[in-house]
Amino acid sequence: MAVAARGGAEQIGGVIFHTDRGSTYTAEKFTALCRRLGIQQSMGRVGSCFDNAAAEAFFSSLEWEVLSRHEFDTTAKARAVVIDWCYGFYNTQRRHSAAAGQSPINYENAALTREAA
């Protein structure tokens, strides 16, 4: 989804994707996909939650703001609500303390402008 949202693999080359050491992220097919797309995988140490605080905060927000307030009849309905929340609110409007009180999109755009200057 990130590749599609960003306009193709050439637009995300060099991105760092940080996760825990779950089997989803260490699977051979997933790691091959990351290599093919130019995504650098990063994983925390076993048993350490401190390096993944942003991801933990995201999932906490998702559970509190979305999942606890909806009941879903199907996986497709759940997926649609979660995607809408991520792209329609969390990334574009919700302000984040780790992003200087800005939404992720605004923070990223400001960083790109600073780099270009």
The predicted-structure confidence for 25-82, as pLDDT tens digits, reads as follows 889 999 999 999 988 988 877 776 666 677 778 888 899 999 999 999 999 999 999 9
pLDDT of res. 50: 64
CA nearest neighbour of 39 among 20, 13, 9, 11: 13
What pLDDT was estimated at residue 1? Answer: 77
Q: Are residues 66 and 114 in the same domain?
A: yes
Structure tokens at 11: 């637009």
80 against 98, higher pLDDT: 80
Q: How many domains does the chain have?
A: 2
Same structural domain for residues 1 and 44?
Answer: yes
**74, 87: one domain:** yes
Domain extent at residue 55: 51-117
On whether both 66 and 40 belong to a single domain, the answer is: no
* Residues 14, 66 within the same domain: no
* Residues 31 and 70 occupy one common structural domain: no
Same domain, 35 and 2: yes
What's the pLDDT score for residue 45?
A: 74
Q: 7 and 64 share a domain?
A: no
The whole-model pTM stands at: 0.64
Task: Inform me whether the pLDDT recorded for 117 exceeds 60.
Answer: no
Are 69 and 110 members of one domain? yes
Q: What is the pLDDT of residue 55?
A: 74
Fill in the DSSP letter of residue 102: B
